[in-house]
Structure 1
């Protein structure tokens, strides 16, 4: 999260503020800096730092505190936006790409959304009826194959002597599938008959 109105720096910006190359920064200064200055919550790739805290550290002053209360203009990552909105990060990205929510702003090579946009997304009913974030059900959800029920009906008719035996070649032609697929459909249809 980037707090409202706070300039941010990535590690390149921190090295520039210190007046050294990135290599020199990492070799000579980064360990002490990382022990004193915490990255902004939720920042990854790139890790971001509050510019005022960086400047205070570089000048040897006490670090200013970050705002504790949420603000509607705080910038959130896709994961943080999804957590506020009650959907996955991929849903946030898809909604932004399709215009169902604002496109966000780009900073430091990634996209950010305001807390207000995340809360507005949370208030809107979801059009997606799939799994919710954190769902433990990992089984794929497939629609039942209508061909299995149809073939089961024909197998019943054949067993009752009301038609000729069902063959894989007949099903392959009927459903425009390979003979092997037709055999699979027949096997599933027989399995459903055995269960009932």
Structure 2
């Protein structure tokens, strides 16, 4: 999370601020810096730091504290915005692309969303809200295959001796599908018949 109104630096910005190359910064200064200055919560790839804390460290001054609490203009990662909205990070990214959510802003090579946008997404009516985080419903979202019901009827007729045995070749020819697809239809029909 990037607190509202706080400038931020990644490792390249910090090296520039210190007047050295990124490789020199990593080799000579980063270990001491990382021991003194904590990255902003939730920052990964790239790891980012509060600019005021970076400047204070480089000047040898005490680090200022970060603002506490939540503000509507705090910038959140996709995972953080998803936690606020009750959705997965991938749904947040997808909604931003399709326009059902604020597109966010880009900083340090990744996209961020305001807390207000995430809260607005959580309050949106559930016409289709995406799979919620931790959802346990793994049921298929496809419609039942009408062919399986029709083949189940023919299988029942064959069991009763009213017709010859149902074969995959016959089903493949009738529905104009491959023999393997016909075998799947027969398997579905048998499963449906055994559960009904």
Measured after TM superposition, the shift of residue 194 of structure 1 is 4.3
Q: Measure how far apart 1:167 and its partner are.
A: 2.4
Q: Which residue of 2 aligns with 1:60?
A: 60
Decide which moves more: 16-25 or 139-148.
139-148
Who is 1:75 aligned against?
75
Q: What SS class does the counterpart of residue 100 from structure 1 fall into?
A: coil
Q: How does 1:103-182 map to 2 (within 5 A)?
A: 103-128=103-128, 131-136=131-136, 139=138, 141=140, 143=142, 144-182=144-182
Give me the TM-score of the superposition, normalised by structure 2.
0.91
2:101 aligned residue: 101
User: For the structure 1 residues 86 and 194, does the alpha-carbon distance in structure 2 shift closer, same or farther, using more than 3 Å as the test?
Assistant: closer
**What residue number does 2:36 align with?**
36
Structure 1's 106 and 24: CA in aligned 2 closer, same or farther, altered over 3 A?
same
Segments of 5+ residues of structure 1 without an aligned counterpart are none
RMSD over aligned Cα atoms: 1.9
Report if aligned partners of 2:148, 2:185 keep a CA contact under 8 Å in 1: yes
User: Could you say what secondary structure the match of 2:106 adopts?
Assistant: strand
**Structure 1 Cα separation of the partners of residues 55 and 39 of structure 2:** 14
Distance 2:130 2:5 in 1: 37
